[in-house]
A and B are shown apart, each in its own frame.
Chain A
Amino acid sequence: MLSGQMVIYEEEHQQLTEICERLVRDALAKAIFVVDKDGQLVTATGETAGIDTTGLASLVAGSTAATGSLAQMLGEEEFPVHFHEGTSKHLHVSVIGETLILVVIFDERSSLGLVRLRVKRAYLEMAGVIENLNRKAKAGNKDLDIFGEITDDDIDSLFNDAF
């Protein structure tokens, strides 16, 4: 294992999803995604049909990592917020804590000002959830028993259908 584990439990997943559902309404956004910095999707809300959410997560993480490195080259710790303006759709990306990224997709029904304002509030709530999660992680993952029981046959059978 290279670097430990990122674990999301039901409780925090639920809380993050609720915050996003509220944010979609308050910010008049089209869709909202929470992505982990290594590129995995944590939760998605709003009009996500037709969006390749897995691909989106890896691209957002890649671009955030690249932007973060640019910041460090310039002596900044990070560029915590970036914004991409399109003709009809816009993307507001903000880094939350050490581990997560919040992505808001919006169109002409909303505005950058409104999104910014609402994200700020959601940010604080999300930071609280992450803090809880980190505390749990430090306390040890006692219920992480899925791997202990894996047999060699389980591992072999993984490949039977997919390829």
Chain B
Amino acid sequence: MSFINYAQREIILKIVYYGPGLCGKTTNIKFIYSGTNPDARGKLVSLETKQERTLFFDFLPLSLPAIRGFKTRLHLYSVPGQLFYSASRKLIMKGADGVVFVADSQRARKEANIISMEDLKENLQAYGYDIDKIPFVIQYNKRDLPTSMPVEELRADLNPDGRFADFEASAVAPGGPGVFETLKAVVKLILVELKKTK
């Protein structure tokens, strides 16, 4: 849920990165951190295990310029992708304004992607949200790997009707192709949605 603070003249949008374990959610957020002007970013908070797996969440606050006199702030969160962290994932989804689903392009992760998408839908339903009605984009990550599936196959699994905007990305490659495109797309959808509900 967007948070509008008239006293501070700011609006805060919460965006959650979702997807199976090791798909690259944390890598996306770290790349966004490193690619953002230092004045525009806050501290990156990562709650992770010793093996650098997300334990609870990553959190990155960004500030964008003002629109109509209101500062726009983005709060990016990533969920822990490992299956058994289901309860934590659900907590982090609460109050989200938009969701990015990061898929792992590697063939070995085909099933994991599909299961994670089902898990996302269930968690959204638990809060009464419908994936077709929320600002939602998909990112096919790890396009740089030779083991990656063709995009058509990923699309058939995760976006069969082509209903959602989707992007190819490689969050570890130099320049992180696709990472900012994905973020911009979801922010746009959120703002358009806010305009509509007005």
Residues of A within 8 A of B (CB): 1-10, 13-14, 36-40, 42, 52, 54-55, 58-59, 62, 65-66, 69, 144-150, 154-155, 157-163
Taking CB atoms, residues of chain A closer than 8 Å to B129 are: 2-3
Most chain-B Cβ atoms within 10 A of its Cβ — which of A6, A36, A147? A147
Taking CB atoms, residues of chain A closer than 8 Å to B188 are: 155
Taking CB atoms, residues of chain A closer than 8 Å to B70 are: 146
**CB-based contact B68/A154 at 8 Å:** yes
Could you tell me the distance in whole angstroms from the C-beta of B178 to the nearest C-beta in chain A?
13
Taking CB atoms, residues of chain A closer than 8 Å to B94 are: 3, 37-38, 65
Residues of B within 8 A of A (CB): 1-8, 11-12, 14, 32, 35-37, 40, 42-43, 45, 47, 56-57, 59, 61-65, 67-70, 72, 75, 77, 87-88, 91-92, 94-98, 124, 127-129, 134-135, 180, 184, 187-188, 190-195, 197-198
- A9 to B69 alpha-carbon distance, docked (Å): 15
State the majority secondary structure of interface residues on B. mixed
Could you tell me the distance in whole angstroms from the C-beta of B176 to the nearest C-beta in chain A?
11
**CB-based contact B65/A162 at 8 Å:** yes
Given A62-B57, A162-B36, 17 extra CB contacts under 8 A: A1-B1, A2-B134, A7-B4, A7-B6, A8-B5, A13-B5, A38-B94, A40-B12, A52-B43, A69-B87, A69-B91, A144-B198, A146-B70, A148-B195, A157-B65, A158-B64, A163-B40
A-B contact pairs, 24 of them (CB 8 A): A2-B95, A3-B94, A5-B2, A8-B5, A9-B7, A10-B7, A13-B7, A36-B3, A37-B94, A39-B75, A40-B3, A52-B42, A62-B47, A146-B67, A146-B69, A147-B198, A150-B67, A150-B191, A157-B65, A158-B65, A158-B67, A161-B37, A162-B37, A163-B40
